[in-house]
Homo-oligomer: A and B are copies of this chain.
Amino acid sequence: MSGSSRILNEALRAKVTSAEHAAGLIASGGTVGMSGFTGSGYPKAVPLALAARMERERAAGNPFRLKVWTGASTGPELDGALARADGIELRLPYNSDPVAREKINAGKMDYLDMHLSQVAPMAWQGFLGPLDTALVEVTGIRADGSLIPSSSVGNNKTWLDRADKVILEVNRWQNPALEGMHDIYYGTALPPNRVPIPLVRPDDRIGEPCFRCDPDRIVAIVETDTPDRNAPFTPPDETALAIAGHLLEFFRHEVASGRLPASLLPLQSGVGNVANAVLTGLIDGPFENLTAYTEVIQDGMLDLLASGRLRMASATAFSLSPDAAERVNADMARFRDRMILRPQEISNHPELIRRLGCLAMNGLIEADIYGNVNSTHVMGSRIQNGIGGSGDFARNAYVSIFMTPSTAKGGKISAIVPFASHVDHIAQDVQILVTEQGLADLRGLSPKHRARLIIERCAHPDYRGALADYFERAQRGSYGLQTPMLPAEALSWHQRFIETGSMLM
């Protein structure tokens, strides 16, 4: 192991140890800041060893639990294994692991759903409590002791700066050509000493390619070679293609009206089927010299880069299918200079999103007739994943777009409801709403005009009549008529689904 070419600093090479030994350095009850964002760049060996230890301790009657902070979602070796071992006391700021989700919604795991841009600042502000350990995957360690970041940056800079002790996983599976792709900004500070962030274009580099790390705080280094999670990619279905079609038509119209430049503005795009369809659709569209300033680089964005339409992409992480990951790894030299990975407080910073004028495209669980959006809670109480960066982007975007199929669960759930059972994005932050049925341009419209348009353009025909009926009756029976509602009926669709398994009457 000591001959590994990935650890070029000799003093640090002496700290190479086993995952089991490293896991033994973490005390129960503490807080661990882990790497990982959308299934990439998360530690893979130490969490498994930790989970095994948790199972043993639990069997011996000594519950072993940790507070786990990350960038965003990770992989089954981390969230899945630790949740299965009942080893997570508190999880923040985002989760998409099914085992952890189940524990959270059963009330067995505390979960703090945060704006992704705010995690690092709040850690520095001392609002989240002390950080005992940083557990961070890196691609390699340079001779000077600086750390080559992995396939996600997330909050790693902050974890490495703030933790009492540092455990590193050096993952040989990660492509060594990642070196030089990252831009780690070291200019953040606490007020009153904050200064403007000097980024004015998505391709500006304002930092350093590697993490600084005090070698004295590094207590263990574990070598691994496990791939990132990399969920396989489902090609867009008809619904996704229809949504993408409406949105591309909207972009064409905005350019023709002079409200958007011909090369659009920096794209932000969530992950998933619909987002991929939009990005893929841009390959055949009329737009050239596109840029992206976003959270993740997913398959569609890679295709767009490969096509030449997308000039460059700035993000904090990859989120690729195994196929796409292979393509990137095989062709890293070609892709590398057109991609930048940054800390998530920079990729998602309100200052930068507003300055750049991002076109924000995010998914949702449900929107009400006024365009208040629920991104997180099924039936208002059961969390799906988390708000992620959608709030960072939606409020500060040049145009804030939300898109969704108009129904879910085979038509039994309407994505358009009389009243949102949970609100993540208030109507002011939702300008364009798109389903496969159509697109509602809500800019400049007061609530009742928004409702008419959303019902007409976005609702599924199976639900359109009931929504229009509710809205009409609300206009007659509401306490006030700015945003008409009937409190006794507003959440009845959710209640019906809970009772009958369908929102349909």
Q: Contacting A487 at CB < 8 Å: which of B118, B379, B480?
A: B379
Number of copies: 2
Q: A196 near B: Cβ within 8 Å? A: yes
Mark each residue of chain A from 318 to 351: 1 if its CB lies under 8 Å from any CB of chain B, else 0. 0000000000000000000000000000000011
Q: A372 near B: Cβ within 8 Å? A: yes
Are A485 and B357 within 8 A (Cβ)?
Answer: no
Are B491 and A372 within 8 A (Cβ)?
Answer: no
Q: A65 near B: Cβ within 8 Å? A: no
Residues of B within 8 A of A257 (CB): 126
Q: A192 near B: Cβ within 8 Å? A: yes
CB distance from A356 to the nearest CB of B (A): 6
Are B196 and A197 within 8 A (Cβ)?
Answer: yes
Number of interface residues of A (CB under 8 A): 84
Once A355-B196, A421-B485 are accepted as A-B contacts, the answer to whether A480 and B105 lie under 8 Å apart by CB is yes
Once A383-B480, A495-B488 are accepted as A-B contacts, the answer to whether A196 and B200 lie under 8 Å apart by CB is yes
Give the complex CA separation of A113 and B350 in angstroms. Answer: 21
CB distance from A216 to the nearest CB of B (A): 24
Q: Contacting A125 at CB < 8 Å: which of B104, B398, B420, B475?
A: B398
Once A115-B428, A196-B197, A488-B495 are accepted as A-B contacts, the answer to whether A191 and B355 lie under 8 Å apart by CB is yes
Q: Contacting A491 at CB < 8 Å: which of B196, B200, B491?
A: B491
Give the complex CA separation of A258 and B432 in angstroms. Answer: 43
Are B191 and A357 within 8 A (Cβ)?
Answer: yes
CB distance from A78 to the nearest CB of B (A): 19
Are B446 and A479 within 8 A (Cβ)?
Answer: no
Are B350 and A479 within 8 A (Cβ)?
Answer: no
Give the complex CA separation of A501 and B328 in angstroms. Answer: 64
Q: A198 near B: Cβ within 8 Å? A: yes
Q: A107 near B: Cβ within 8 Å? A: yes
Q: A26 near B: Cβ within 8 Å? A: no
Are B395 and A395 within 8 A (Cβ)?
Answer: yes
Give the complex CA separation of A449 and B109 in angstroms. Answer: 12
Interface of A is mostly: loop
Give the complex CA separation of A115 and B127 in angstroms. Answer: 27
Are A381 and B444 within 8 A (Cβ)?
Answer: no
Give the complex CA separation of A126 and B443 in angstroms. Answer: 10
Give the complex CA separation of A295 and B200 in angstroms. Answer: 27
Residues of B within 8 A of A387 (CB): 426, 428
Are A445 and B112 within 8 A (Cβ)?
Answer: yes
Are A381 and B479 within 8 A (Cβ)?
Answer: yes
Q: Which of A92-106 contact B (CB under 8 A)?
A: 104-106
Q: Contacting A127 at CB < 8 Å: which of B194, B259, B395, B495?
A: B259
Residues of B within 8 A of A491 (CB): 487-488, 490-491
CB distance from A96 to the nearest CB of B (A): 14
Give the complex CA separation of A468 and B163 in angstroms. Answer: 38
Q: A129 near B: Cβ within 8 Å? A: yes
Once A200-B196, A355-B351 are accepted as A-B contacts, the answer to whether A372 and B423 lie under 8 Å apart by CB is yes
Give the residue name and chain of the B residue nearest to A107 (CB).
Answer: B481
Are B449 and A110 within 8 A (Cβ)?
Answer: yes
Are B196 and A482 within 8 A (Cβ)?
Answer: no
Are A194 and B200 within 8 A (Cβ)?
Answer: yes
Give the complex CA separation of A423 and B485 in angstroms. Answer: 13
Q: A261 near B: Cβ within 8 Å? A: yes
Residues of B within 8 A of A378 (CB): 479-480
A-B pairs with lowest CB-CB distance, top 6: A382-B480, A191-B357, A196-B196, A107-B481, A423-B423, A487-B491
A: residues with CB less than 8 A from B are: 90, 104-107, 110-115, 118, 122, 125-129, 190-192, 194-198, 200-201, 257-259, 261, 265, 350-351, 354-357, 372, 377-383, 387, 391, 395-396, 398, 420-424, 426, 428, 431, 443-446, 448-449, 474-475, 478-485, 487-488, 490-492, 494-495, 498
**Can you offer 20 A-B residue contacts whose CB atoms are under 8 A?**
A90-B446, A112-B444, A113-B428, A191-B356, A192-B261, A192-B356, A196-B196, A196-B197, A378-B480, A381-B474, A381-B479, A381-B480, A381-B485, A382-B482, A383-B480, A395-B395, A421-B487, A479-B498, A487-B498, A488-B495
Known: A378-B480, A479-B498. 13 other contacts (CB 8 A): A107-B475, A112-B444, A191-B355, A191-B398, A192-B265, A194-B356, A195-B355, A350-B396, A380-B483, A387-B428, A426-B426, A488-B492, A491-B491
